A and B are shown apart, each in its own frame.
Chain A
Amino acid sequence: MKNFSRKQFLKTAAGAALVMATRVFSTPLHAADKFFREPPWKRKKPYWGFAVDITKCIGCGRCADACKTENEVPREAFYFRTWVERYIIRRNGEVNVDSPNGGMDPFLPPHDPETVTKSFFVPKLCGHCENSPCEQVCPVGATFKTEDGVVLVDRKYCIGCRYCIQACPYGCRYFHPVLHVADKCTLCYHRIKKGLNTACVEVCPTGARMFGDLSDPKSAITKFYETETTNVLKASMGTEPKLLYKGLDKEVR
């Protein structure tokens, strides 16, 4: 003890306290969590992923319709678990985006078609993010991630504070007008558990939507993830969605 001055003691104590605090707080925090682990699909079986090939989408909107039918989503035009947007890029750089009734109604021909340089359809849905902000902010843990990587809402536990709706950068959540809770894409969890495809993938006539098990090295989705040139929406947010797009234009938000 002879060389152990009070200053040293305080230094040591502060250091120890800092280490302990870091340990205690880093475990549950999302940001810290991701540095300590490998991708979950290397550890867990199965682990679901989704992909969209924008170059194949024809904007028929059957996915949006099938989703509403399968999941009993309210039919009004504001409630969608998946929807299709049409982007029209014009020569002067102007961008028009429309989505008539989520793509279920016909897309009308654009005005001044001679000024249009390109146009494409972008189907959207929940990305079931690895670092999902919606799960992070839910005050009661009603939003959670399943073992197989699907972000779900417990409708019986949600208190309807709508904090998760603010937290989602992709606008994928809505407030259920009858149940008064937050609602979103479940990746047709009731179907995939039985080995079926999601409803939207099932009805897609061009194969623009893809769904599968990322933990299976031979699956089509794994091949798509590994070999195609893809991108995610708003990559800078660090949410790491498991929804990859092929042919994503820079104008897509």
Chain B
Amino acid sequence: MFNLFKFLRLSAAEVLDGDWRYYAWMSGLALLSLAGLNAYSVQLVHGLGTTGMSDHVSWGLYIANFTFLVGMAAAAVMMVIPVYVYHDEPLHDVVIFGELLAIASIVMCILFVSVDLGRPERVWHMAPPPLGKFNWPDSMLSWDVIVLNGYLFINAYVAGYLLYMKFLRKEPLKILYIPFVLLSIVWAVSIHTVTAFLYQGLAARPFWHSSIIAPRFLASAFTAGPAFIILTLQLIRKFTAYRIADAAMLRLRNVVQVAIAINLFLFASELFKELYIPDEHAVHMQYLMFGLHGHNGLVPWIWTALAIEAVAIALLMLPASRSMKWLNLACVFAVVGVWIEKGMGFIIPAFIPNPLGEIVEYLPTLNETLICVGVWAFGFFIYTAILKAAVPILTGRLRLGGVPYTAEAGMEPGGIPKPDFGAGFRPQGARWVDPGPPGR
């Protein structure tokens, strides 16, 4: 118990410590989060009328971001499966970054749903009985509450347990985490499936009422998630001592390659079904792709998404993206493309035209955008903080019993050359240094 306390204390100290770039980054994120909080207080006082949403388009950017982030959370499974089912070597050391991304993503998901509520002070009504009144199993939203919180718990537990064991310099007990890892595979698929069913189950919105939505969500999640993790890994190896082989990036590149191809294929399939024999339900797709009766607010969005996704898939399929520079570009395009496709390209067109045939377009307001930026900044803040503590534990620098490297050894245990801390981290401060025996 004392060790756990020490683990938390040293991790917290690690989060609070960094060079000027780290402080600048975190301060910037904190400022943006506070700006978002301020915007949210405006919304709290004046209601959802401060957003661009209306009775015609009654879900907007909040729910769009929520949907996208559920996918980012689910994407951790694309590293868990290779590592724990197929014992993939290159990904073994980085799988935990996927799990940590899942934690940060779910936190953002919960925030995005919360800011979307008209009566946030009643959010406890969604808690299981006897506290709340849970319309389970009827409402897909109540399922979503269960699976998202469950997924948050599973990932926090697995990642926390593995990091703690690493900190204690002990072998993790398989029985204590492998069952949860296997559960997390099923659970990851379930969170995005349930989120898809949330939309798919509404006969009133023909644009969503399509059996292909759940597979599409999974394909787009497995495009954007691993692409985002590639970008994260690039930053981790640039700014920290943690060694990540190119092989890990290339393995994730394979995942993105396949997923983006499936994603575009499923989108094309949907497009064909809607436009080849356009029935009365095809108006939403027509509005999205070409505009309807002179209204074409979403047309630039969807074509941008498709264009950059096309560039991304071309880059990913070409050998060029074996070089990290092109791979990074492809990943940025894939993430942004999917974000547009799942937000402005999926949530909004379902409302336009509305069930009565009226066309009311949607554009987020400044206040609404600020709240979104704030939530994203807070998510990045959390993710950076978790990584800041996790990386030194993984390199073995932060651990029970002191700091493993010494000036004379110049080496990390295991013969890894001593990292250059000048790049991103100050060398160990004097606060908890206890030189102890070098190495294990």
Classify chain B: how many residues form its interface, as a range.
35 or more
Bound complex: CA of A170 vs CA of B204, how far in Å?
A: 8
Q: Would you call A137 and B141 a contact (CB within 8 A)?
A: yes
Which of A2-10, A171-179, A216-224 contacts its partner?
A171-179
Q: Judging by beta carbons under 8 Å apart, are A171 and B47 in contact?
A: no
Are A168 and B58 touching (Cβ within 8 A)?
Answer: no
**Which residues of chain A have C-beta atoms less than 8 A from B139's C-beta?**
136-139, 163
Contact B141 A161 (CB under 8 A): yes
A-B contact pairs, 19 of them (CB 8 A): A97-B357, A133-B203, A137-B141, A138-B139, A139-B135, A139-B139, A140-B133, A140-B134, A140-B142, A158-B118, A159-B123, A160-B117, A161-B113, A161-B116, A166-B205, A167-B202, A168-B355, A171-B354, A180-B47
**If the complex has contacts A140-B125, A180-B118, are A166 and B54 also in contact, measured as CB distance less than 8 A?**
no
- Chain B residues near A (Cβ < 8 Å): 47-49, 54-55, 58-59, 113, 116-120, 122-123, 125-126, 132-135, 137-142, 145, 198, 201-205, 350, 354-357
Chain B residues, CB < 8 A from A163: 139, 141, 198
Partner of B142, one of A25, A139, A238: A139
Q: Are B356 and A141 in contact (CB under 8 A)?
A: no
**Are the C-beta atoms of A175 and B119 separated by less than 8 Å?**
no
Give the shortest distance, in Å, between B134 (CB) and chain A (any CB): 7
User: Any chain B CB within 8 A of the CB of A109?
Assistant: no
- Determine which of A29, A162, A168, A175 lies in contact with B138 in the assembled complex, contact meaning CB atoms within 8 Å: A29
Known interface pairs A166-B59, A237-B203; A177-B116 also in contact (CB < 8 Å): no
User: 18 other contacts beyond A169-B204, A170-B356, with CB at 8 A cut-off?
Assistant: A28-B137, A79-B55, A85-B356, A133-B204, A139-B134, A140-B126, A140-B135, A142-B125, A158-B118, A159-B117, A162-B118, A163-B139, A166-B202, A171-B354, A177-B47, A177-B49, A180-B119, A181-B118
Set of chain B residues within 8 Å of A181, measured between Cβ atoms = 118-119
Closest B residue, CB atoms, query A79: B55
A35 at the interface (CB under 8 A from B): no
Closest 4 CB pairs of A and B: A160-B118, A180-B118, A169-B204, A139-B141
Q: Which residues of A contact B354 (CB under 8 A)?
A: 171
How many angstroms from the CA of A162 to the CA of B60 in the assembled complex? Answer: 11
Question: By DSSP majority rule, is chain B's interface helix, strand, loop, or mixed?
Answer: loop
Q: Which residues of A contact B205 (CB under 8 A)?
A: 166
Which of B116, B120, B123, B125 interacts with A157 by CB under 8 Å?
B125
Q: Which of B132, B202, B205, B350 has the most CB of A within 10 A?
A: B202
Interchain CB contact under 8 A, A157 and B122 = yes
How far, in Å, is A6 (CB) from chain B's closest CB? 25
Which size bracket describes the interface of A in this complex? 35 or more
A253 at the interface (CB under 8 A from B): yes
Classify the interface of chain A: helix, strand, loop or mixed: loop
Using CB atoms, name the residue of chain B closest to A139: B141
Min CB distance A185 to B, Å, is 15
Tell me if A153 counts as interface (CB < 8 A to partner B): no
A73 to chain B, nearest CB (A): 13
Tell me the minimal C-beta distance from B56 to chain A in angstroms.
Answer: 8
Given A162-B118, A171-B356, A140 contacting B132 (CB threshold 8 A): yes
Residues of B within 8 A of A85 (CB): 356
Contacts of B54 in A (CB 8 A): 78
Q: A237: which of B122, B204, B356, B357 is its contact (CB, 8 Å)?
A: B204
Chain A residues, CB < 8 A from B135 = 138-141
- Residue-by-residue, is A117-145 near B (CB-CB < 8 Å gives 1, otherwise 0)? 00000000000000001001111111000
Q: What B residues does A170 contact at CB under 8 A?
A: 204, 355-356
A30 at the interface (CB under 8 A from B): yes
Q: Is the CB of B117 within 8 A of A161?
A: yes
A230–B12 alpha-carbon span in the complex (Å): 70
A165 within 8 A of B: yes
**Looking across the interface, which residue of chain A has its beta carbon closest to that of B113?**
A161
A183 to B142: give the CA distance in the assembly, Å: 21
Tell me which residues across on chain B come within 8 A of A174, comparing CB atoms: 55
Shortest distance between the CB of B166 and any CB in chain A (Å): 39
CA distance A218 to B115 in the complex (A): 51
Q: A75 vs B205: C-alpha distance in the bound complex, in angstroms?
A: 28
Q: Taking A140-B135, A175-B58 as contacts, is the C-beta distance between A159 and B122 under 8 angstroms?
A: yes
Closest-by-CB residue of A relative to B145 is A139
Complex Cα–Cα for A157 and B117 (A): 13
Task: Point out the residues of chain B lying under 8 angstroms from A78, CB to CB.
Answer: 54-55
User: How far in angstroms is the closest Cβ of chain A from B414?
Assistant: 48
Among B118, B137, B205, the one with the most A-chain Cβ atoms within 10 Å of its Cβ is: B118
Tell me the smallest distance from the CB of A131 to a CB of chain B, in Å.
10
The docked-state distance in angstroms from the alpha carbon of A162 to that of B56 is 11
Contacts of B123 in A (CB 8 A): 159
Task: Return chain B residues, CB-CB under 8 Å to A180.
Answer: 47-48, 118-119
A158 touches B119 (CB 8 A): yes
Identify the closest chain A residue to B350 (Cβ). Answer: A166
Q: Which residue of A lies closest to B198 (CB)?
A: A163
With most chain A CB atoms within 10 A of its CB, the pick from B119, B126, B133 is B119
With A and B bound together, what is the CA distance between A80 and B258 in angstroms?
49
Residues of B within 8 A of A161 (CB): 113, 116-118, 141
| Complex Cα spacing A9 to B204, Å | 44
Contact B138 A165 (CB under 8 A): no
State the CA gap A178–B355 with chains docked (Å).
24
**In the bound complex, CA of A141 to CA of B142 (Å):** 10
Contacts of B122 in A (CB 8 A): 140, 157-160
Q: Name which residue of chain B comes closest to A137, CB basis.
A: B139
Q: In the bound complex, what is the Cα–Cα distance between A136 and B48 (angstroms)?
A: 24
Query: Is B126's CB under 8 angstroms from A159's CB?
Result: yes
Chain B residues, CB < 8 A from A140: 122, 125-126, 132-135, 142
What is the distance, in angstroms, from B136's C-beta to the closest C-beta of chain A? 8
Known: A161-B117, A253-B356. A137 touches B137 (CB 8 A): no
Q: Is the CB of B138 within 8 A of A136?
A: yes
A166 vs B132: C-alpha distance when bound (angstroms)? 23
Pick the contact of B203: A169, A175, A178 (CB < 8 A).
Answer: A169
The answer on a CB contact under 8 Å between A175 and B204 is no
How far is A140 from B127 in the complex, measured between Cα atoms in Å?
A: 9
Complex Cα–Cα for A136 and B133 (A): 14
A133: which B residues are within 8 A, CB to CB?
Answer: 202-204
Q: Is B355 in contact with A169, judged by CB distance below 8 angstroms? A: yes
Residues of B within 8 A of A139 (CB): 126, 134-135, 139, 141-142, 145
